[in-house]
Amino acid sequence: MKKIILILIANLITVSIFAQSYSNPESVDFDTASGRYFIANINSGRIQVREPNGSLSSLTTNAISPAPYGIEFAAGKLYACCGTTVKVFNPSTGAQIISIPVSGASFLNGITHDNNENVYVTDFSAKKIYKIDQSNTVTTIVANTTNTPNGIMFDPENNRLIYVCWGSSARIKAVSLTGFAQTTLLTSTLSNIDGIARDNQGNYYVSNWGANSIVKYSNSFTSPQTVVTGLTSPADIFYNLLTDTLAIPNSTSSGSVTFWGNPQITTSININKQNETLVFPNPSNSILYLKSLGEEIIAVELFDLTGKLVFSEQNSSLEKIDLSSINTGTYILNAMHKNGSVSKHPIQKN
């Protein structure tokens, strides 16, 4: 009995140690419903949960095997690239929902999803891109990317995927979701690009192992600008549209996650906390009610998680908006107040 108790205590200590420190953090995503970041760690095989106060815990009691690389929220579930399978977890309980084998896969790495909750995964070694639909059926949409694919994201305006490549003169490429044709958007001067993300203004950010930096591009992949330096193997990045913050995992054994705010965006909005706004019911499938505890709301804008404006309305005193024509999904509501301040709110449309 004593031996069993000691083993249980040792296991609890091990879980606690891994929960409170990063171990080759590889990928970051954010759950707008709970305000928590999720971080995949290669060495420990764990997905950590970072609370709004900065505390860390482990999503699962046991290490995930194979270890998780790219992670992605889709349809309220957390998808993780694990070797040759994609494992799906309940983000609230940590329970594994399903493990989806990907036939012919070698090393699944980057992951994203579209507006229809289809999931797309890059295969770093086999140089392929796969699609997993809502019934968990897997199809190969790109049999040969030619270049080594890494991070990937969905571009809804052009109905395409954009992925970045490993290697010298690293390329940024696109895959049309109508016919799956590939095009090269940019042959960069960077080496070993890992992740890609986009901000509220349509600018793109890529993580560059070659110079341990983050490089920002315009919407047309021109005007490169190094915006973050001093990183260590920056991996699969995530841009939090709600807070205008780029989350950057530094993928080393004693790694960290750097949170960088874009001053050109964050200082352009005067957020007055005295104008707290109640938004209800949330989630909603039709009418969304707004109640300001300060200055009146005179305009609203609704953005999807790619930064695309999907709805806007102006009125001298806005108290409700009709979401019935908006697709199901997660959005960010900007409420503009009479005094010029803005309050931001994550919105779930059912």
CATH number at residue 336: 2.60.40.1930
Same domain, 285 and 183: no
- Residue 299 structural domain: 273-349
Q: Which positions ≥6 away from 228 have C-beta within 8 Å? A: 213, 214, 234, 246, 248, 258, 260
- Given a cut of 70, the residues of the chain with pLDDT beneath it are 1-20, 262-276
Same domain, 107 and 78: yes
Same domain, 13 and 96: yes
Domain boundary among 226, 242, 262: 262
Q: Is residue 225 part of a domain?
A: yes
CA atoms of 45 and 84, how far apart (whole Å): 15
| pLDDT score of 41 | 97
Same domain, 207 and 162: yes
Same domain, 178 and 315: no
CB atoms within 10 A of CB 266: 12
Same domain, 282 and 344: yes
Q: Is residue 268 part of a domain?
A: no
Same domain, 241 and 344: no
Q: Is residue 297 part of a domain?
A: yes
CATH number of the domain residue 186 falls in? 2.120.10.30
Same domain, 58 and 133: yes
Same domain, 312 and 218: no
| pLDDT score of 5 | 41
Same domain, 254 and 279: no
Domain boundary among 240, 262, 284: 262
DSSP, collapsed to helix, strand or coil, labels residue 309 as: strand
Question: 3-class secondary structure for 62-107?
Answer: CCCCCCCCCEEEECCEEEEEECCEEEEECCCCCCEEEEEECCCCCC
Same domain, 69 and 175: yes
| pLDDT score of 317 | 72
Total count of domains within the chain: 2
Q: Is residue 267 part of a domain?
A: no
| pLDDT score of 81 | 98
| pLDDT score of 19 | 54
Residue 184 sits at the vertex; the CA angle it makes with 181 and 185, to the nearest 5 degrees, is 120
User: Structure tokens of 33?
Assistant: 């419903």
Domain boundary among 262, 295, 321: 262
pTM of this structure? 0.77
Same domain, 24 and 170: yes
